[in-house]
Structure 1
Amino acid sequence: MAHLRSRRRHALLAVPVGIALTASLGFLPGAASAAPQGTTAKTAVTTDGPTLSYVVNTGTDRATLTKVKKAVKAAGGSIVESYDRIGVIVAHSGNPEFAKTLRAVPGVASAGATRTAPLTPSATTDVGKPEKLKLPKGSALSANRQAADGKEPLEGLQWDLPAIKADQAAKINPGSRKVTVGVIDTGVDDTHPDLAPNFSAAQSASCVTGKADTTAGSWRPFDPDEDYHGTHVAGSIAAARNGAGIAGVAPNVKVSAIKVSTPGKSLFYAESVVCAFVFAADHGVAVTNNSYYVDPWLFNCADDVDQKAIAESVGRAAKYAQGKGVVNVASAGNSAFDLAAKEISDTSSPNDTTPLPRKVDPSKCLDVPAQLPGVVTVSATGPKALKSYYSNYGLNQIDVAAPVATSTRSPSCPPRTAASSPRCRAATGPTSRAPRWPARTWPVWRRC
């Protein structure tokens, strides 16, 4: 799980967020550029190589899409999903020359593998394990049963709320029920009593395969004990003020889960993230939280054909969401990198096979989705309102900052009591900063 912002890895105070996405980075989409005049080979296609997942970025007109889809099949590929509105096709193929063949098709802007490790078989319907948690007998269930000071039982441990005055803001307006924050992550345990009151199943899905699965429960973590990250993020955003557990930054907004992590290693591949942004946009999600980077590359470079295709596909999906009014918020990263530097050492990519250390120029090699145009990028601050030692930073690279627990101030869950949450995990680290912002973007979103 090295890709999660918690392992390496915003309450909006009325910051006017510009969400217009441009194509100025060169490899983000405008009209698809025509490749050299060539056609797919009519000779027999080899498909006995390792099966990989690919993204093919093309034009959005019907003629081009039809031609490219035929080329995908002719090159030994099978189409998993075609996002026609943004010109992104997700395909699987065992043809080692698949991407190269597609790049030669007129109308294809880019095409590349989304991973270096072969695909592994998975169930068609990936329903996570339900927890079916309940409040302990005797727990307080309403505001008039809360502690005398009006706080949730564990709220005293949440120093971040007063740091951004979220506790005071909640007294005036705890959030709008018309706003849903979509957590693009490892899945969310919607049965948790602190989340159940605010969870929106109608706006939740699993996008792990690159195609949205809305089967009931598909959005839950594969393993709640290991894949707790998304549940933690959802709680930071919208844990209900119900007299149990903690308080979310905006305890009255709704939260949904869009699961994108693979079982086991919990990797977030491009096809899953593309699916997630499009699903969020098409299902009325107002804000997305993105506390991760797209695997397997920490940085995606425009001069690498696979990484170029990854960045373009996710960029198109994020731009589509922004065009439908979605505010996308992402963690800046937790490697203490200066994202405005001329050179950065990347020693972890690719993280799904054997890493190959390299030097990258962060102006040409992007941390996706954090460095995509239009995405609100969030760095981390500690209890003293100073930059956290692990947080990425950089001139003109960070939009906002938010408080996060550090190793010097990390509370532990108290012994379980009738007044506490039935399941508590004290999470520390930079993953916690991003959720502080999506939860409070709703006043700005409402005015858009």
Structure 2
Amino acid sequence: MTPRPARSRRAAAIPVGVALATAFALLPGSASAAPLDGGTSTASAAAAEGESLSYVVNTRPGKGTAEQVQKAIVKAGGEVVQTYAQIGVIVVHSTNTGFAETIRKVRGVESAGATRTAPLPAQTTTDIGAPQELTPEQMRAATAQAAEDEDPLQPLQWDLPAIKADQAHKKTLGSDKVTVAVIDTGVDDTHPDIAPNFDRDASVNCVAGKPDTSDGAWRPNENESPHGTHVAGEIAAAKNGIGVTGVAPGVKVSGIKVSTEQGFFYTEAVVCGFIWAAEHGVDVTNNSYYVDPWMFNCKDDPDQKALLESISRATRYAERKGAVNVAAAGNSNFDLASDSILDDSSPNDTTPGDRDIDPSECLDIPTQVPGVVTVASTGAKDLKSSFSNYGDGVIDIAAPGGDSTRYQAPDAPATSGLILGPLPGGGYGYMAGTSMASP
């Protein structure tokens, strides 16, 4: 989780510098979240000043339709950034204040909307907080307790025996013919626990809404979140005599970077990520985030409806190509099956406001997109994590994502109720959240 308090699942994790405080803050009744009433006025205000906004335009199927719509986009003052003809989604930039309203009237357009309420920014760096890194002393203590068949830090990984992964490893470590894509903040494939299982061909940078295949573009820079690297290690850290062990240490893992340096996951980037995964042999995608800037996207709002439609098309396309899409449930302690939720943190890229939403009509994406496997979090005592979203008929499965050690202390030799994983640069540290549950 980043310092931005509105983002309760920014990559659905809680880095430990703020993990304990966040767990305390997200006890029952302390939910955080939310869009403004209509959801479009802020976007219109930003564009009215002539600032460039990003849009998705969803078209009816057909090559001819796409070509006609692209001509209309240019005529309406838009610049086509990328066309995903496979699903009828076009990514557009425009400074025209009336672009969305104009393009919605074009024949062949089913929906269109701004993907953000803030103008397209120049890349800047922000402090995103840090996990609790293991000290050399802690590493030596864990190594001294490791069994002969365990990696050195495995004694600290209470989450593996919690789901009997340690027993499963005696039968199989997983198949190297399976690739899990981490759609996230980027993955440091130079980490010695990730490098042996990393699939470069299935990795890419999608932050701009189109694929950047330059070497290493999928990695986080030194100012960006370690979240994606931690998640990748939880999935497939190699059983190689060093560090930690992944849940499936024999499978391949790839990095699909979709988060901006500021930590935002915008629709155009996420659509690109799913399409890339679908077309590069990915078997499973892990999605530990929600799509910005709206925590919930309401079907009766034209902008939010378009974002939901674009993501839904992308996830369905990946499914048709054989992928299973898994998503974190979120860290706001919301009942996603309730009749009403106070969403008070959206849009999180400009000025948030309050609204009561019906979570059956206003969806957290990709978490609530049909076909996506939704994962809640449990702690070391096998109880719901204090921060985890929940909901009968909405949550598909729960898995260890950690909790404050004060609430759910693990059995020895583990010492922290949080989840241990790799960090960029070769280190290891604890994080917690539904992000840690979905891997």
TM-score computed with the length of structure 2 as normaliser: 0.81
Is the alpha carbon distance of 1:162 and 1:248 closer, same or farther for their aligned partners in structure 2, counting shifts above 3 Å? Answer: same
Alignment of 1:244-263 (within 5 A): 244-263=242-261
CA distance in 2, matches of 1:108, 1:251: 45
Matched, 1:81 2:82: yes
Per-residue deviation, residues 119-143 of structure 1 (Å, max 9, x unmatched): 02359xxxxxxxxxxxx9xx9xxxx
1:227 deviation in Å?
1.0
> In the alignment, what sits opposite 2:384?
387
Matched, 1:286 2:283: yes
Runs of 4+ in 1 over 6 A off after TM superposition: none
CA distance in 1, matches of 2:278, 2:78: 28
For structure 1, the 5+ residue unaligned runs are: 9-45, 124-135, 140-145, 414-420, 436-448
> In the alignment, what sits opposite 1:324?
321
> In the alignment, what sits opposite 1:4?
11
Matched, 1:424 2:428: yes
CA distance in 2, matches of 1:78, 1:365: 29
Task: Look up the SS of the partner of 1:379 in the other structure.
Answer: strand
Identify, as 1 or 2, the structure richer in strand.
2
CA distance in 1, matches of 2:85, 2:244: 42
Per-residue deviation, residues 348-378 of structure 1 (Å, max 9, x unmatched): 1011011111110000000000100000000
Conserved in 2, the CA contact under 8 Å of 1:47 and 1:93? no
1:384 deviation in Å?
1.9
> In the alignment, what sits opposite 1:56?
57
For structure 2, the 5+ residue unaligned runs are: 16-46, 125-135, 140-144, 418-424
CA distance in 1, matches of 2:164, 2:378: 15
Among the aligned pairs, what percent are the same residue?
Answer: 60
Conserved in 1, the CA contact under 8 Å of 2:174 and 2:249? yes
Task: Look up the SS of the partner of 1:325 in the other structure.
Answer: coil
Count of aligned pairs between the two proteins: 371
Alignment of 1:47-196 (within 5 A): 49-121=50-122, 148-196=147-195
1:333 deviation in Å?
0.9
Task: Look up the SS of the partner of 2:110 in the other structure.
Answer: strand
Of 328, 332, 336 in structure 1, the residue corresponding to residue 333 of structure 2 is 336
CA distance in 2, matches of 1:168, 1:325: 28
Per-residue deviation, residues 19-70 of structure 1 (Å, max 9, x unmatched): xxxxxxxxxxxxxxxxxxxxxxxxxxx9971100000000121221111000
CA distance in 2, matches of 1:242, 1:197: 9
Per-residue deviation, residues 153-173 of structure 1 (Å, max 9, x unmatched): 110010010010001101101
CA distance in 2, matches of 1:394, 1:348: 20
1:7 deviation in Å?
4.1
Conserved in 2, the CA contact under 8 Å of 1:47 and 1:76? no
Per-residue deviation, residues 382-402 of structure 1 (Å, max 9, x unmatched): 122221221111111011110
RMSD of Structure 2 on Structure 1 (CA): 2.3
Of 424, 433, 437 in structure 2, the residue corresponding to residue 433 of structure 1 is 437
Per-residue deviation, residues 272-330 of structure 1 (Å, max 9, x unmatched): 00000000000000000000000000000001111101110011000000011000000
2:205 partner amino acid: S
CA distance in 1, matches of 2:438, 2:188: 19
1:200 partner amino acid: D
Conserved in 1, the CA contact under 8 Å of 2:185 and 2:224? no
CA distance in 1, matches of 2:70, 2:113: 15
Per-residue deviation, residues 158-202 of structure 1 (Å, max 9, x unmatched): 001001000110110100010000000000000000000000111
> In the alignment, what sits opposite 2:230?
232
> In the alignment, what sits opposite 1:132?
none
> In the alignment, what sits opposite 2:133?
none
1:95 partner amino acid: N
Q: Name whichever of 244-253 and 148-157 sits farther off.
A: 148-157
CA distance in 2, matches of 1:213, 1:167: 37
1:430 deviation in Å?
2.7
Is the alpha carbon distance of 1:94 and 1:422 closer, same or farther for their aligned partners in structure 2, counting shifts above 3 Å? Answer: closer
CA distance in 2, matches of 1:148, 1:339: 42
1:222 deviation in Å?
2.6
Conserved in 2, the CA contact under 8 Å of 1:273 and 1:314? yes
Task: Look up the SS of the partner of 2:82 in the other structure.
Answer: strand
1:147 deviation in Å?
5.2
CA distance in 1, matches of 2:321, 2:48: 39
Task: Look up the SS of the partner of 2:73 in the other structure.
Answer: helix
1:276 partner amino acid: G
1:425 deviation in Å?
1.5
CA distance in 2, matches of 1:279, 1:422: 27
Conserved in 2, the CA contact under 8 Å of 1:403 and 1:433? yes
CA distance in 1, matches of 2:156, 2:169: 17
> In the alignment, what sits opposite 1:268?
265
Conserved in 2, the CA contact under 8 Å of 1:377 and 1:397? yes
CA distance in 1, matches of 2:53, 2:393: 36
2:427 partner amino acid: R
Per-residue deviation, residues 209-233 of structure 1 (Å, max 9, x unmatched): 000111001000033x641000000
CA distance in 1, matches of 2:426, 2:65: 54
Matched, 1:212 2:219: no
Per-residue deviation, residues 45-96 of structure 1 (Å, max 9, x unmatched): x997110000000012122111100010000000010000100000000001
